[in-house]
Amino acid sequence: MWTKAFDRLLTHLIRRGRLVVTFADGTTRHYGSEDAPMAELTFHDPDLPRKIVLSPDLAVGEAYMDGRLTIANDDLYGFMSLAMSNMASQGQPWFRRPLVIGRWMMRRFKQFNPVKRAQKNVAHHYDLSGELYDLFLDEDRQYSCAYFSDPEMTLEAAQEAKKHHIARKLLIKPGMRVLDIGCGWGGMGLTLARDYGAEVTGVTLSREQHGIANARAKEAGLAEQAQFKLMDYRHVTGKFDRIVSVGMFEHVGVPHYDEYFNTLKRLLTPDGVALVHTIGRAGMPGATSAWITKYIFPGGYCPAMSEAMTAIEKSRLITTDVEVWRLHYAYTLRHWTKRFEANIDKARDLYDERFCRMWRYYLITSELTFRANKHVVFQFQLSPEKESVPLTRDYLYQEDKDGAQQAAE
């Protein structure tokens, strides 16, 4: 029964390119057309067809990690590109839709992130060995989407461009109090303190990130100007001229969106400005991959714009600008994957082969989610007042215009 259901699933999905599957009993089946691209899979677990029908993303990810599914030439990128592009085109067959609806209905429970649970979720991912992140991130440890004004930019240049693009949107002046929610290893906060003269308070729930961020501030001579605290953003008090949150909103969870934006409203001065940078969906609301939830980001979710905007409207904050980055994260993840693969022996020494396969699967499928599916990055610029920022975007590019004028002279 399960083999037939699996056969119907792949017959429905694979229309472009060709997929060859060799089952555990030695039987081989072909799906799709004779056109390239082609991928070849071998199952080493007779129960894999059933698991894939019930939960494709979880079953395929786990089987690849465990070696119960192997790919010819270990071409994970080629196989996932074929699979995900076809899934994006064809959608789910009718007999899987009740399972998809059930997973969607459970999402609010899975995204319920009170403080203690949020701290546990953060530790699951961000308190891994700091040496791991050194293997694939840029020198500043920016673990969010870079800004590629030119696709040929280096990762370091694109991450610097991202930080300064955000700083321009924040319209920071020396001495302004800035709150960095989800400050990571401190790179954004240190840039705002060093290059823009801001007084920065960063908050994180990761002990690893907290320790490194403060050590970096001390080493840079910015310990008085940039301070990083181990605390939940909901516990922050006081008022701030600016609030920045990069790559943190994905961990908030739909049940807490109202709480999140109400907190921003509470902490901003009357003419303050906030910038929220988050992965999102350029489509309808959905549910997080079961594999991602289990192995990478428990409690995480990337919102549709409608979900975020509904909560923003309720908070009575004014949306002064929305920018959508489309392929920037695909470029970023491609850099990370290449660097991780170049250092995979070091990663294996830190963990084991299964972890390396898991991390490679995470990076590659994430890139392809931005290429084949509707994932993008949103930047929401928010303020309690309409006139807190200029009426046009010209101020974002004034520095470039001044530089071009000086060069011409």
| Judgement on whether residues 215 and 69 belong to the same structural domain of the protein | no
Q: What is the CATH number of the domain that holds 294?
A: 3.40.50.150
pLDDT at 403 over 70: no
pLDDT at 118 over 90: no
- Residue-wise pLDDT for 36-77, tens only, equals 778 999 999 999 999 999 888 999 999 999 999 999 999 999
pLDDT at 407 over 60: no
| Judgement on whether residues 68 and 210 belong to the same structural domain of the protein | no
Q: What is the pLDDT of residue 124?
A: 57
| Judgement on whether residues 56 and 126 belong to the same structural domain of the protein | no
The pair of structure tokens assigned to 36 is 């390239």
Least confident of 91-100, 145-154, 164-173, 198-207: 91-100
| Judgement on whether residues 250 and 376 belong to the same structural domain of the protein | yes
Coil vs helix vs strand at 20? strand
* Distance (Å, whole) CA 269 – CA 178: 11
Q: Within a domain: residue 235?
A: yes
Q: What is the domain count for the chain? A: 2
pLDDT, the chain, mean: 90
Buried b (16+ CB within 10 A) or exposed e, 268-296: bbeebbbbbbbbbbeeeebbbbbbbbebb
| Judgement on whether residues 273 and 192 belong to the same structural domain of the protein | yes
Q: Within a domain: residue 110?
A: no
More confident residue, 107 or 174: 174
Of 58, 91, 124, which one is at a domain's C-terminal end?
91
How many helices (H) and strands (E) are present in the chain, helices listed first? Answer: 18, 11
What is the arithmetic mean of pLDDT over 247-269? 95
What is the arithmetic mean of pLDDT over 320-326? 97
Strands 240-246 and 268-281, bridge-based pairing: parallel
Q: Within a domain: residue 385?
A: yes
Coil vs helix vs strand at 380? strand
Of 29, 58, 91, which one is at a domain's C-terminal end?
91
Q: What is the pLDDT of residue 286?
A: 87
pLDDT at 104 over 60: no
Element (H, E) at 19: strand 18-22
Q: Give the percent of the chain with pLDDT over 70.
A: 88
- Residue-wise pLDDT for 127-182, tens only, equals 677 799 999 999 999 999 999 999 999 999 999 999 999 999 999 999 999 999 99
Q: Within a domain: residue 404?
A: no
| Judgement on whether residues 19 and 129 belong to the same structural domain of the protein | no
| Judgement on whether residues 141 and 240 belong to the same structural domain of the protein | yes
- Residue-wise pLDDT for 351-363, tens only, equals 999 999 999 999 9
Provide the whole-model pTM. Answer: 0.90
Q: Within a domain: residue 109?
A: no
| Judgement on whether residues 336 and 233 belong to the same structural domain of the protein | yes
What is the arithmetic mean of pLDDT over 266-276? 98
Q: What is the pLDDT of residue 107?
A: 60
| Judgement on whether residues 78 and 121 belong to the same structural domain of the protein | no
For 120, other C-beta atoms within 10 Å of its C-beta total 13
- Residue-wise pLDDT for 215-227, tens only, equals 999 999 999 999 9
Cα dihedral across residues 145, 300, 371, 169: positive or negative: negative
The pair of structure tokens assigned to 94 is 């009718």
| Judgement on whether residues 35 and 168 belong to the same structural domain of the protein | no
What is the arithmetic mean of pLDDT over 304-330? 97
Lookup result for tokens 């990810």: 61
Q: What is the pLDDT of residue 397?
A: 83
| Closest-CA residue to 271 (of 183, 378, 171, 165) | 171
Lookup result for tokens 């370091």: 156
In sequence order, what are the residues at sequence separation of 6 or more whose Cβ sits closer than 8 angstroms to the Cβ of residue 20? 28, 29, 30, 31, 38, 39, 40, 41
Q: What is the pLDDT of residue 404?
A: 45
* Distance (Å, whole) CA 15 – CA 88: 11
Eight-state DSSP code of residue 204: E
Q: What is the pLDDT of residue 195?
A: 97
For 199, other C-beta atoms within 10 Å of its C-beta total 17
SS3 string, 277-297, reads EEEEECCCCCCCCHHHHHHCC
In sequence order, what are the residues at sequence separation of 6 or more whose Cβ sits closer than 8 angstroms to the Cβ of residue 228? 183, 186, 189, 201, 202, 203, 204, 209, 210, 213, 214, 217
- Residue-wise pLDDT for 370-396, tens only, equals 999 899 999 999 999 999 999 999 999
Confidence category of residue 406, pLDDT binned at 50, 70, 90: very low
| Judgement on whether residues 338 and 373 belong to the same structural domain of the protein | yes
Coil vs helix vs strand at 222? coil
Least confident of 99-108, 222-231, 250-259, 271-280: 99-108
Q: Within a domain: residue 102?
A: no
Q: Within a domain: residue 162?
A: yes
What is the arithmetic mean of pLDDT over 307-330? 97
| Judgement on whether residues 78 and 137 belong to the same structural domain of the protein | no
What is the arithmetic mean of pLDDT over 204-217? 95
In sequence order, what are the residues at sequence separation of 6 or more whose Cβ sits closer than 8 angstroms to the Cβ of residue 219? none
Q: Which domain holds residue 244?
A: 115-399
Long-range CB contacts (within 8 A, 24+) of 87-96:
87/13, 87/372, 88/372, 88/373, 88/374, 89/15, 89/16, 90/12, 90/13, 90/15, 93/8, 93/9, 93/12, 93/13, 95/5, 95/8, 96/9, 96/53
The pair of structure tokens assigned to 345 is 């022996």
